Amino acid sequence: MASLPDVTMLTLLLSAGTYGVYHWFEPAGLGSAGALLLAIPLYITLQARHLYSSAFWAFAFTFFSYYSLIIAYTITYRLSSFHPLAQYPGPVACKVSKLWMTFVVSRGYTHKYICELHNIYGDVVRTGPNELSFRDDKATITILKEVEKGPYYDCRNQKGVIPLDGIKSFHDHAIRRKLWNKAFNITSAKEHSEDLKSCVDELLHELDRKRTGVIDIAAWISFLSYDFMGHIVFGSPIGMVKAGRDFTGFAELADSLAYIANVISHIPWIWPFLQSIPNADAPLEIPRKVCKDLVSRRMKSNNTVKRDLYYYLLDEDGLESVKPDETVALMEGTTAIIAGSDTASTMMAHTLFFLMRHRSALKRVQAELDELYNGDGAHPDYTKNIETPYLSACINETMRVYPALLAALQRRVELGSGGKMIASHFVPEGTQVTASLFTMHRDPRHFSPIPETFWPDRWLSQETYVLPSGETIGKDDIVLNRSVYLPFSLGQQNCPGKMFANMEMKAVLSAILHTFDIKPAPETNLDDYENSISDVYITHKGPLPVKLTARR
435 binds ligand HEM (CB under 6 A): no
- Does 199 bind ligand HEM (CB under 6 A)? Our answer is no
- Rounded CA separation 84/82 (Å): 6
Q: Please give the Cα distance from 115 to 82 (Å, whole number).
A: 28
Residue among 373 and 488 whose Cβ is closer to ligand HEM: 488
Query: From the CB of 344, what's the least distance to ligand HEM, in Å?
Result: 4
Shortest distance in whole angstroms from residue 92 CB to ligand HEM: 28
In the complex, the smallest distance separating the C-beta of residue 441 from ligand HEM, rounded to whole angstroms, is 12
To ligand HEM, the closest distance from the beta carbon of 412 in angstroms equals 13
| Whether the Cβ atoms of residue 314 and residue 324 lie closer than 8 Å to each other | yes
In whole angstroms, the minimum distance from the beta carbon of 435 to ligand HEM comes to 9
Using the minimum distance from each CB to ligand HEM, give the nearer residue, 87 or 483: 483
- Beta carbon nearer to ligand HEM, 78 or 192: 192
Identity of the residue, 240 or 336, whose beta carbon is nearer to ligand HEM in the bound complex: 336
Site for ligand HEM contains 497 (CB under 6 A): yes
Q: How far is CA 237 from the centre of its chain?
A: 24
**What is the rounded CA–CA span in Å between residue 131 and residue 413?**
10
| DSSP labels, 150-179 | -GGGGGG-BTTB--GGG---HHHHHHHHHH
Cα–chain center distance at 513: 28
Q: What is the dihedral of CA 490, 258, 309, 281, to 10 degrees?
A: 140
Residue 15 or 227: the one with the smaller Cβ distance to ligand HEM is 227
**Which of 369, 372, 406, 409 lies at the binding interface for ligand HEM (CB under 6 A)?**
409
Residue of the chain from 47, 275, 481, 489 that contacts ligand HEM (CB under 6 A) = 489
* Identity of the residue, 14 or 409, whose beta carbon is nearer to ligand HEM in the bound complex: 409
Q: Is 495 annotated as a binding residue?
A: yes
How many CB atoms lie under 10 A from the CB of residue 375?
A: 8
Helices (H), 80-134: 92-96, 98-107, 110-121
Q: Where are the beta strands (DSSP E) in 369-416?
A: 408-412
256: number of CA atoms within 13 Å, CB side? 8
Whether the bond into 449 is cis, omega within 30 of 0? yes
Contact flags string 157-186 toward ligand HEM, x per CB under 6 A: -------xx-----------x---------
Q: Among 190, 201, 198, which residue's Cα sits nearest to residue 306? A: 190
Within positions 327 to 356, which residues make up the interface with ligand HEM, using CB under 6 A?
A: 335-336, 339-340, 343-344, 347
Rank residues 48 and 339 by Cβ distance to ligand HEM and give the closer one: 339
Q: How many CB atoms are located within 10 Å of the residue 85 CB? A: 18
Binding residues: 495
Contacting positions for ligand HEM (CB under 6 A): 164-165, 177, 335-336, 339-340, 343-344, 347, 404-405, 409, 487-489, 493, 495-497, 500-501
Binding residues for heme: 495
